Amino acid sequence: MREILRLLLISGEISSASGLFSRTRPDTIGRGGNIVVQAQDLRVNENAVISTQTDSAFSGGDIQIAADRIFLTNGGQLLASSSDSGEAGNINITARDEIVISGRDENYALQVQDAIEREGLGFIGDLRRILNREGEDGSAPSGIFLQSLGEGIDAGAAGSLTIAAAGEDVSLILSDGAEINAETVSTTGGNLTFSDLDLLLLRGGSSITAEADVAGRTGDGGNIIFDMPSGIILATPTENNDIVANAFEGDGGNIEILSRSIIGLEARETRTLGSDISASSAFGSNGQIRLQTLNIDPDQGLVAQAPAFVDQSRFVDRRCLVDSRQGRSSFVITGTGGISPSPRDVVRSESAGLVDFGSADESSDNYSLDIYSLRDNSAETVLLDTEADDEVVISTSHEPIVEAQGWERKQNGDIALVVQRLDISLINQMEANAACAQ
């Protein structure tokens, strides 16, 4: 399928064998055909499968998938297997956004048995190995599987899996018992390679394995390689999520991890109920585990602080200090009297400098406003007639502001500033002259 599809959805029951298949039957000649899928979204659900199978001495076909997003859920599988001397095909996946593998079909075995009884197809018992990789409990886990089921030294090798990121921030998520598995019985297990992923997340008993862990068989475990220097490998530590390359009588495979960080997984000699990284063999040689993560030094880039603290007092101008004797600074509190009529004058009382901007005559709709000019020392009284509809009638009178020249006491005892102080002796002289003139 070389067209670029927007959505390829494969879903169905075992009786309808939903999926894409390529198979070489026994006694046939020639290599199996490849399955090529290019799509924006690829969803394989509900026991559906994309499968290449060889039952002959010739190799099975490859599965090649290029998509933005890939979802394998509820028993959906990608499967490349061999049951004879022919080698199983390879699976190559390129993703630009995410790969999500989740869940399993718990009723897979019951569905197979129901199909046999209903359809009377005796060969379904053989096909069940081909159509889905069945778990030990009869369920079909979602996942990617490469299998070599042939026995003896002539058995075909399991294929290899490559998952590569074709964009930034590409994630691979396995959850709820999902699996990526390269399994062999008698020969070398397949290799699993993961390149340039930003995140690998394992949850809910999920696993990535390259095993030959069959009792009485001499197969060797495959190798698992994570080449993701900018990525993070994350697993829930208590949910039995594993990365394993074990064997039984053969040698364990090798596990190489290059990533920025590994969280929740620990390298152990054998598998536990925790989340493990293991490459052991029951009777053969253990494989090697090489973990290379970006060691971030928390002290990197920090500058040592000077042992002596800076004396902040030398940054304060001592001329502003209260006890300074230099006398170069002053601070004057003028109270709440407002600004003075002139910027050069000093406010000396609470009411000094306040200007009365007029008052309203309660018996009239006219308002008066006194306007003072500091520029020419003049005052202007403005009468505003608010009853006028179209315009405001304004009448003004100009009286120059003259500086007081003296003071005098009024009859009630108040002291008043006057423009020119009356000279009493001059007034008496003027009254005497007037009397003489009469």
Q: Mean of the pLDDT values across residues 337-355? A: 55
Answer yes or no: do 74 and 209 share one domain: yes
- What pLDDT is attached to residue 152? 65
356 pLDDT more than 90: no
Is residue 363 assigned to a domain? no
- The residue among 267 and 113 whose pLDDT is bigger is 267
- What pLDDT is attached to residue 375? 45
Is residue 74 assigned to a domain? yes
Answer yes or no: do 277 and 342 share one domain: no
- Confidence bin at 247 (pLDDT 50/70/90): confident
Is residue 97 assigned to a domain? yes
- Confidence bin at 28 (pLDDT 50/70/90): confident
Is residue 347 assigned to a domain? yes
Is residue 420 assigned to a domain? no
Domain count, the chain: 2
Q: Mean of the pLDDT values across residues 137-155? A: 79
- What pLDDT is attached to residue 286? 87
- What pLDDT is attached to residue 137? 64
- What pLDDT is attached to residue 434? 55
Q: Mean of the pLDDT values across residues 339-352? A: 56
Distance CA 259, CA 133 (A): 30
User: For residue 264, is it left (φ>0), alpha (ψ between -120 and 50) or beta?
Assistant: left
Q: What is the mean pLDDT of the chain?
A: 75
Q: What percent of the chain has pLDDT over 70?
A: 58
Answer yes or no: do 197 and 227 share one domain: yes
Answer yes or no: do 9 and 45 share one domain: yes
- The residue among 418 and 291 whose pLDDT is bigger is 291
- What pLDDT is attached to residue 299? 62
- The residue among 68 and 132 whose pLDDT is bigger is 68
Answer yes or no: do 227 and 324 share one domain: no
Answer yes or no: do 89 and 232 share one domain: yes
pTM above 0.75, yes or no: no
Answer yes or no: do 12 and 78 share one domain: yes
- What pLDDT is attached to residue 129? 45
Is residue 419 assigned to a domain? no
Answer yes or no: do 214 and 261 share one domain: yes
Answer yes or no: do 44 and 179 share one domain: yes
Is residue 361 assigned to a domain? no
Answer yes or no: do 156 and 104 share one domain: yes
- What pLDDT is attached to residue 329? 57
Give the domain range for residue 38: 4-293
Is residue 431 assigned to a domain? no
3-state secondary structure the chain: CCCEEEEEEEECCHHHCCEEEEEECCCCCCCCCCEEEEEEEEEEECCCEEEEEECCCCCCCCEEEEEEEEEEECCCEEEEEECCCCCCCCEEEEEEEEEEEECEECCHHHHHHHHHHHHCCCCHHHHHHHHCCCCCCCCEECEEEEEECCCCCCCCCCCCEEEEECCCCCEEEEECCCEEEEEECCCECCCEEEECCCEEEECCCCEEEEEECCCCCCCECCCEEEEEEEEEEEECCCCCCEEECCECCCCCCCEEEEEEEEECCEECCCCCCCCEEECCECCCCCCCEEEEECCCCCCCCCCCCCCCCCCHHHHCCHHHCCCCCCCCCCCCCCCCCCCCCCCCCCCCCCCCCCCCCCCECCCCCEEEEEEEECCCCEEEEEEEECCCCCCCCEEEEEEECCCCCEEEECCCCCEEEECCCCCHHHHHHHHHHHHHHC
407 pLDDT more than 90: no
pLDDT 10s digits, 160-218 = 999 999 999 999 999 999 999 988 877 777 899 999 999 999 999 999 998 876 655 66
Answer yes or no: do 134 and 262 share one domain: yes
- What pLDDT is attached to residue 373? 47
Q: Mean of the pLDDT values across residues 100-127? A: 66
Answer yes or no: do 164 and 241 share one domain: yes
401 pLDDT more than 50: yes
